[in-house]
Structure 1
Amino acid sequence: MKIVDAKVIVTCPGRNFVTLKITTDQGIYGIGDATLNGREKAVVSYLEDYLVPALIGRDPQQIEDIWQFFYRGAYWRRGPVGMTALAAIDVALWDIKAKMANMPLYQLLGGKSRERILTYTHANGKDLDSTLDAVRKAKEKGYQAIRVQCGIPGIEKTYGVAKGEKSYEPADSDLPSTEMWSTEKYLNFIPEVFAAVRKEFGRDIHLLHDVHHRLTPIEAARLGKELEPFHLFWMEDAVPAENQESFKLIRQHTTTPLAVGEVFNSIHDCRELIQNQLIDYIRTTIVHAGGISHVRRIADFASLFNVRTGFHGATDLSPVCMGAALHFDYWVPNFGIQEHMAHSAQMDEVFPHAYQFERGFFTPGETPGHGVDIDEKLAAKYPYKRASLPVNRLEDGTLWHW
């Protein structure tokens, strides 16, 4: 069995997605997500110019050897571009192997470890009243876990809060726009938000919050400590994680569970965090961390230290990645939770899928492979449109973390 074609498909049904389709000489094909939000064309070039030519003619059944060939053979290894491209190949090959076995992917991984997959949604509002209303709507849909983000008084635009009635989409302009930030205003207001949410809805729902890397370690420690009375499921991305030891200081001061990892690309980005038990949830995604083969190693390592998974699942990941993630979630013993931002009807038409959502829980479906396909004719109707993530500045103009 040989790979005879590997095609990169770029489409924009409301936002940009990059998909890799690998076809074998037996006519079986697999699909992988290669989307890197705001840097999509960099991955396209890496795949088309460097990886795909070396992929043709190989045996698609040799997933591990192919993974090692492209990882170890690159010399300039790791990084978001290379690991996203490698993830697309890896997921497409797992899709092929599961189809060859006539099994849903989770069965090939070792079978399911649960009957359904707990997911959390986003409840965002420009002010406290609209945020409470968003939480109420999410709760009515059956969600048992809700990420709460709220506009901050005195800050014009806040991460996680959409403009108008549309869903939140950070890649909002051709070239990067600028947002302003005040740590003081944020820290003074957010505990009030969670106090109001708990007062309104009680303690029967899980609450999560994303800081989005905007605090220093001691500031994150303060926030975690002040949020303790509201028993968060987790506080996410409290600080930039390039310095993994930053989490030691946070951990010393708060019992609020900590989650991090959506921008990580390998086990080396989170090794110290996991083995020193400085986090509770690892959020590294299949699409940005080398695919199923590598994320499985991260999850197995994390299980030794009671760290659970909590995959990133925003709409900057295509339904292909969501399908693969759900099969992984079904299998992985140390599962924690799965993020869910619903794709639009337009996106779902381009990427027909077998996974199903019902009142706060997912199941991945029983279709052989990961159960997600791409309608290439429909995808061609939505050409790529450059969309950039914003930059963040403090009120004095200093460039800050986004």
Structure 2
Amino acid sequence: MSRIERAEVFVASPGRTFVTLRITTSDGVVGLGDATLNGRELAVASYLRDHLVPLLIGKDPARIEDMWQYLYRGAYWRRGPVTMTAIAAVDTALWDIKGKVAGLPVYQLLGGRSRDGVLVYSHASGRDTAELLDDVERFLSLGYEAVRAQAAVPEVGGTYGVRKGKLYEPAAAALPDEQPWDTEAYLNFAPTYLEAVRERFGFGFHLLHDVHHRLTPLEAARFGKAVEPCRLFWMEDPTPAENQEAFRLIRQHTTTPIATGEVLNSIWDVQTLITEQLIDYVRTTVVHAGGLTHLRRIFDLAALYGVRTGSHGATDLSPVSMAAAVHLDVAVPNFGIQEYMGHADETLEVFRGGPTLADGMLHPTEVPGLGVEYDEKAAERFPYQARYLPVARRLDGSVHDW
């Protein structure tokens, strides 16, 4: 019987920092898992190396469900982003192995296709409305059928989601970038640029916007009401989601669809949001919500209540996670949309393969497993660099949700 013979943790910074788990069986089959937690990568790497890897050696790689329960219930200290990201890496690697042993792409093991491709959205942004409109036009010309729109708030100096280079990457070296924030200025300005996008390009594509946890429930309700004429696909993370009950107030005041969950890590973190139908899209993701095994449970619960999927897919997910997400997206019946930003050229030197983009949709590979390979030699050219996500401060100097 095949056993887990070796489990290795790699930390490298090809374009941005990624933590990768590689499991090798006694039969020589290799599986990859993503363990990246943006800004706290070494915490997960240590959790894996010091606590989980010793538990894996000698275990049967085919017993994915049993392994998930063993690592979760057997830890006593449960949930949280570090624990769930580490478990996700193991779980994803075991699914990769199972697909390779079976000779099938992972989506076939999840029940086969429910759709031909996976609708994606990417990120248009600008330092002002005019620059944003040009960027929206660029994405539409590339064939995207869904675009997220963000613009810098005038005279504030700080905002969320405005790209400085080819890709949006908020994490910075050294200490966190402290960015100013003014809620009233945002509430006055954001609806105007979303209206400008619709006025210029019409309603023939999906328009999304990320509030990024920055509003109180009542402020979020006010914003959702203001942008109803724009017919957003969703407003994302309108208020911090730790307080699930807060979404009841937003629901009472606006029909703008709501998406949340990228910083949540378990089915219990979204249980009220889903069962009370307080959101329309759940954004939990493979790497931060316990892997394919647990994310499928979340999506199945969501399907019972008419909630669709919309998983996080920024550049802080490695190509391993993106591949796993697309395998699940193509299989589940309640898929909604998948965030997709692409990756830096350096990233793609280390991670080879994965889904392909065509006509605004991602398509999983047909090779056995997840379809991604890790080039250890290439990764050695990109040693670890510490990076922090920003911190937001109100104009009076107090800390705000970034």
- TM bucket by the smaller chain? over 0.9
| Structure 2 counterpart of 1:135 | 136
Contact conserved, 2:173 with 2:385, CA < 8 A, in 1?
Answer: no
Q: What SS does the aligned partner of 1:65 have?
A: helix
**How far has the Cα of 1:162 moved from its partner?**
2.4
**How far has the Cα of 1:229 moved from its partner?**
0.3
**How far has the Cα of 1:288 moved from its partner?**
0.3
Q: How does 1:334-345 map to 2 (within 5 A)?
A: 334-345=334-345
**How far has the Cα of 1:223 moved from its partner?**
0.3
TM-score (normalised: structure 2)? 0.99
- State yes or no: 1:10 paired with 2:11: yes
| Structure 1 counterpart of 2:375 | 375
Contact conserved, 1:172 with 1:390, CA < 8 A, in 2?
Answer: yes
Q: What SS does the aligned partner of 2:387 have?
A: coil
Deviates further, 358-367 or 306-315: 358-367
| Structure 2 counterpart of 1:154 | 155
**One-letter amino acid of the counterpart of residue 322, structure 1:** M
| Structure 2 counterpart of 1:253 | 253
Contact conserved, 2:15 with 2:345, CA < 8 A, in 1?
Answer: no
**How far has the Cα of 1:176 moved from its partner?**
1.1
| Structure 2 counterpart of 1:310 | 310
Aligned-partner Cα distance in 1 for 2:12–2:358: 28
Contact conserved, 2:148 with 2:207, CA < 8 A, in 1?
Answer: yes
| Structure 2 counterpart of 1:298 | 298
| Structure 1 counterpart of 2:97 | 96
Aligned-partner Cα distance in 2 for 1:131–1:395: 25
**How far has the Cα of 1:175 moved from its partner?**
1.4
Contact conserved, 2:320 with 2:354, CA < 8 A, in 1?
Answer: no
Aligned-partner Cα distance in 2 for 1:345–1:179: 28
| Structure 2 counterpart of 1:49 | 50
**One-letter amino acid of the counterpart of residue 83, structure 1:** M
| Structure 2 counterpart of 1:191 | 191
| Structure 1 counterpart of 2:120 | 119
**One-letter amino acid of the counterpart of residue 282, structure 2:** I
**One-letter amino acid of the counterpart of residue 40, structure 1:** E
Aligned-partner Cα distance in 2 for 1:299–1:139: 29
| Structure 1 counterpart of 2:20 | 19
**How far has the Cα of 1:152 moved from its partner?**
0.7
Aligned-partner Cα distance in 2 for 1:166–1:140: 17
Aligned-partner Cα distance in 2 for 1:8–1:249: 44
Aligned-partner Cα distance in 2 for 1:377–1:204: 46
**One-letter amino acid of the counterpart of residue 262, structure 1:** E
Q: What SS does the aligned partner of 2:373 have?
A: coil
**How far has the Cα of 1:355 moved from its partner?**
1.4
Contact conserved, 2:172 with 2:389, CA < 8 A, in 1?
Answer: yes
**How far has the Cα of 1:365 moved from its partner?**
1.1
Aligned-partner Cα distance in 2 for 1:150–1:21: 39
| Structure 2 counterpart of 1:329 | 329
**One-letter amino acid of the counterpart of residue 143, structure 1:** Y
Percent identity reads 60
Aligned-partner Cα distance in 1 for 2:167–2:294: 31
Superposed CA deviations along residues 296-355 of structure 1, whole A, max 9, x for unmatched, are 000000000000000100000000000000000110110000001010122112100141
**One-letter amino acid of the counterpart of residue 369, structure 2:** G
Aligned-partner Cα distance in 2 for 1:355–1:166: 20
| Structure 1 counterpart of 2:267 | 267
**One-letter amino acid of the counterpart of residue 292, structure 1:** L
Aligned-partner Cα distance in 1 for 2:269–2:59: 30
Aligned-partner Cα distance in 2 for 1:263–1:200: 33
Q: What SS does the aligned partner of 2:228 have?
A: helix
Aligned-partner Cα distance in 1 for 2:126–2:316: 20
Contact conserved, 1:179 with 1:390, CA < 8 A, in 2?
Answer: yes
Aligned-partner Cα distance in 2 for 1:140–1:71: 45
| Structure 1 counterpart of 2:106 | 105
**One-letter amino acid of the counterpart of residue 154, structure 1:** E
Aligned-partner Cα distance in 2 for 1:364–1:168: 24
Q: How does 1:281-292 map to 2 (within 5 A)?
A: 281-292=281-292
Contact conserved, 1:217 with 1:247, CA < 8 A, in 2?
Answer: yes
| Structure 2 counterpart of 1:61 | 62
**One-letter amino acid of the counterpart of residue 399, structure 1:** V
Aligned-partner Cα distance in 1 for 2:251–2:236: 13
Q: Flag structure 1 segments of 5+ consecutive residues without an equivalent.
A: none
**Would you say how many aligned residue pairs link Structure 1 and Structure 2?**
401
Q: What SS does the aligned partner of 1:19 have?
A: strand
Q: What SS does the aligned partner of 2:215 have?
A: coil
**How far has the Cα of 1:234 moved from its partner?**
0.2
**One-letter amino acid of the counterpart of residue 122, structure 2:** T
**How far has the Cα of 1:14 moved from its partner?**
1.0
TM-score (normalised: structure 1)? 0.99
Q: What SS does the aligned partner of 2:200 have?
A: helix
Contact conserved, 1:354 with 1:366, CA < 8 A, in 2?
Answer: no
Superposed CA deviations along residues 104-163 of structure 1, whole A, max 9, x for unmatched, are 000011000000110001001000000000000000000000000001111112111123
Q: What SS does the aligned partner of 1:289 have?
A: coil
Runs of 4 or more consecutive aligned structure 1 residues displaced over 3 Å after TM superposition: none
Aligned-partner Cα distance in 2 for 1:161–1:301: 34
**How far has the Cα of 1:359 moved from its partner?**
2.6
**One-letter amino acid of the counterpart of residue 307, structure 1:** V
Contact conserved, 1:225 with 1:254, CA < 8 A, in 2?
Answer: yes
Aligned-partner Cα distance in 2 for 1:5–1:231: 51
| Structure 2 counterpart of 1:202 | 202
Aligned-partner Cα distance in 2 for 1:390–1:195: 28
**One-letter amino acid of the counterpart of residue 43, structure 2:** A
**One-letter amino acid of the counterpart of residue 94, structure 1:** W
Aligned-partner Cα distance in 1 for 2:346–2:196: 36
Aligned-partner Cα distance in 1 for 2:175–2:285: 26
**One-letter amino acid of the counterpart of residue 98, structure 2:** K
**How far has the Cα of 1:166 moved from its partner?**
3.9
Aligned-partner Cα distance in 2 for 1:361–1:355: 10
**One-letter amino acid of the counterpart of residue 55, structure 2:** A
**How far has the Cα of 1:390 moved from its partner?**
1.0
CA RMSD of aligned residues (A): 0.7
